Amino acid sequence: MTQARVSAENSRNIGAHDEIVDIVGIGFGPSNLGLAIALRERNAIPGNTPITSTFVESKPEFQWHPDMLLPGATMQISFLKDLVTQRNAASDYSFLSFLHDSGRLPHFINRQTFFPTRIEFHQYLAWAADRVDADVRYDTRATKVIDHPDHFEVVLEGAHSGTVRARNVVLAGGLTARLPEGVCSSARQFHNHALLSRLAALPETTHDAFVVVGAGQSAAEVAHYLHEQYPGADVHAVFGKYGYTPADDSPYANRIFDAEAVDDYYGSSAEMKARMLSYHRGTNYSAVDLSLIERLYEIEYAERVAGARRLFVHGGSALAEAREQPDGVSVRIENRLTGAVEQIDADAVVYATGFTSMALDAILGDLYAAPAPVDGARVTRDYRLRTTRPTAGGVYLQGGTEDTHGLTSSLLSNIAVRSAEIVDSIAARLRTRERELVRSV
């Protein structure tokens, strides 16, 4: 079924105000897509009472970082960490099922790699979204969650404005691009998350120069992409480290992303949580695949040999100033080690400066209190938020739980297992509710 048809049917299926679904999922990226698949497979098991659900997505169709689908960029996790395999290795929604359905399975096998390109993984996610045929209200934004005695009311704006009523809410609003303080997004200064669209709409380039701010994987990918796509332009990479740091993807370090590591982390002390995050930040944050680091170094060195420089890596440095001019951006790069200053007139500045999690207070209002509760963690082990007052149903988080559940909070690595845990939790709570209703009759 096409996504347009899904949206049309959703309007008919869940438009009635008197219906209360078991789950409303806010956001329909990979996390809630994994949840939809887990629900679909659970509901298909004979004897299970079906759990009803609908999802709300602000984008007009399923998308996963479309402006960062750079040619040749590969995933940093194994294809086995897809939406389902670690939960159900026999699932029809696995990456291998997608390859088989696409007629590319033997060709992928011949590549002899665990790491598909980002473009192909996006194809897999879109294929799974279409295949699962979930109720999704695309082009619609959830703005508020209102607590009622026996349900939540979610207020919607956009193509399907109105409300949805549900017994449980699963928040997977994703991440919001973060720009440095004082920087306003413009046609010539923008976050890497919007790279391809902004480059396509870039005003006339007269300086043949770009500046990329950031030391992580995305920053290195952007620098490499700009160097390849604009063969007449200089590319200046600026970051505070002395050089790019390799991502730690060694087998033992990667155990931090195992499902069982979530149990270990959740049950540990605040001191150990902080220590583990510090020890293993290099597996995910401000780190770059070694092969890409080596590629960039080879480019820079070859240009030194040829005496024609286009790639400049400014380590130990910061962007001291970026002033927009009618024809570009006047940039001052300051080396924080030597004090040397370099002035550059650039056509654009790309900020690969990370993301922030969904603002829970904006959508939950007084149900959410930012400080952790004094009587325990702010999120339970089954990813349920401890709200400021008891609620009939649960508010579950897919993301924004790094402080309680570890580094897999916003990553693909644990989607399959986390989805099952949330579904099992909701199923158990619904069974309890049904028993209580029977006893009250």
For every residue of 284-308, DSSP letters joined together read: TSS-B-HHHHHHHHHHHHHHHHHT-
Backbone φ and ψ for 194, nearest 5 degrees, come out as -110, 20
Compute the mean pLDDT over every residue in the chain, rounded to the nearest whole number: 92
pLDDT value of residue 261: 93
> What is the per-residue pLDDT across 242-262, written as a single tens digit (0 to 9) for each?
999 999 989 999 899 998 999
Q: What is the mean pLDDT of the segment spanning 255-282?
A: 91
Q: What is the pLDDT of residues 70-128, one digit of tens each?
A: 999 999 999 999 999 999 999 999 999 999 999 999 999 999 999 999 999 999 999 99
pLDDT confidence of residue 439? 76
Question: In the block, which residue shows the tokens 């934004």?
Answer: 141
Q: Which of 83-92, 194-203, 351-360 has the least mean pLDDT? A: 351-360
For 140-182, the pLDDT digits (tens) are 999 999 999 999 999 999 999 999 999 999 999 888 899 999 9
125: helix, coil or strand?
helix
- pLDDT for position 3: 42
Closest to 363 measured CA to CA, from 169, 144, 146, 163:
144
- Provide the percentage of residues in the chain whose pLDDT is more than 70: 94
Taking only the tens place, the pLDDT of each residue in 327-338 is 999 999 999 999
Give residue 441's pLDDT: 67
pLDDT tens, 18-56?
A: 599 999 999 999 999 999 999 999 999 999 999 999 999
Tokens of residue 331, six digits: 């940039």
Q: What is the pTM of this model?
A: 0.91
Confidence bin at 371 (pLDDT 50/70/90): low
**For residue 138, what are the contacts with CB-CB under 8 A and spacing of at least 6?**
3, 6, 7, 28, 57, 59, 60, 61, 62, 159
Given this model, what pLDDT does residue 18 score? 59
d(CA 315, CA 317): 5
Binned at pLDDT 50, 70 and 90, residue 376 comes out as low
pLDDT of residue 134: 97
pLDDT attached to residue 346: 98
Model pLDDT, residue 15: 42
